Amino acid sequence: MFTNTAKAIDLLPFDYVPAPAGTNAILGFNFNNSADSFKDTSSNRIVESEFKSHVGAVKIARYEDLGGLPVAAALAIPYGRIYDTKIGDVSLNEPEGFGDPIFSFFFWPINQPEKGRWLGIGNFLTIPMGEYNKGQALNIGENRWKHDLQIGLVQSLPGNFTLDLTVDWINYGSNKSAGTGSQKLTQKYTFEGYAWLSYNISPTSWLSVGYQATFGGKQKIDGIFNGTETKSQQVRVSYGQFITPTTKLVGMYGRDVSRTGGFELDHSFQLQITHLF
């Protein structure tokens, strides 16, 4: 019934700055989310509701040059757990296991490091291979294909500031084993946007404030609206630093300021480590 409650991949500052051609990258992610309320699509708060999730992911990437432009390919494999979750004092199941792997491909039609400007286009394909149990309200895998088209801009600004702007268009396949296990889940496309303003403390460290919003994504079971959608707004802060010339550590904290048709996150933590070689 509820999908994408344990998000595996998120966007952080400078994610759309490509590494040099021939570079390999291995990334580790740790996500922790919690909520103590569920909002219906009329923004009514359902009391006695709670949600917690812990997701880790490993991602490998390769950067190359194609026709003079940077390109990259990556594969991410998540593993997660959802627990202590209930809606209106009705406890839900607690799934744990591997999530759906995500294959992604990027290219940068604008690559101007001398001007501090990059424009990249990413394609993310989610493959339905994760843990999924019919008839359960919560699952780690989604049992459906999903495609995310993403466009990201990174632009240096005066005064050691940098602006990141990213938009997504997410399309969903159907899940024919939803609800009771034999019902069909469909979902309208989702629009998502990120904005980060970073202050570059030094050439190897930065402090950022951000905003993330999603719109759309209304779900139906056998053609009937099931009360969930992807409509939220979140404010964020982040700090990042290269702890060695080839290893980067980034932390992020976020909190929902509004949400309808889902759990309103009180706390959203992310830790990302990247090693280039």
Residue 157: inside a domain: yes
pLDDT, tens digit, 9 for 90 and up, residues 264-276: 999 999 999 999 9
Overall pTM > 0.85: yes
pLDDT, tens digit, 9 for 90 and up, residues 95-152: 999 999 999 999 999 999 999 999 999 999 999 999 999 989 899 999 999 999 999 9
Residue 7: inside a domain: no
* Pair type for strands 161-172 and 175-178: unpaired
Residue 19: inside a domain: no
Neighbours of 44 (CB within 10 A): 10
pLDDT, tens digit, 9 for 90 and up, residues 49-107: 999 999 999 999 999 999 999 999 999 999 999 999 999 889 999 999 999 999 999 99
> Domain total for the chain?
1
Residue 6 has pLDDT above 70, yes or no: no
pLDDT score at 2: 52
Residue 36: inside a domain: yes
Residue 16: inside a domain: no
Cβ burial of 202 (10 Å; 0-12, 13-18, 19+) is exposed
Euclidean distance between CA atoms 32 and 12, whole angstroms: 15
Range of the domain at 123: 24-276
Query: In 127-146, which positions are buried (b, 16+ CB within 10 angstroms) versus exposed (e)?
Result: eeebbbeeeebbbbbbbbeb
* Amino acid letter, residue 49: S
Residue 6 parent element (H or E): none
Euclidean distance between CA atoms 139 and 219, whole angstroms: 16
Handedness of CA 261, 179, 146, 83 (dihedral sign): positive
Closest by CA to 252, choosing from 166, 194, 191, 202, is: 194
Are the C-beta atoms of residues 164 and 16 closer than 8 Å to each other? yes
Residue 187: inside a domain: yes
CA distances from 234 to 30, 98, 213, 253 (A): 18, 26, 6, 10
Where residue 168 sits, what CATH number does that domain have? 2.40.128.130
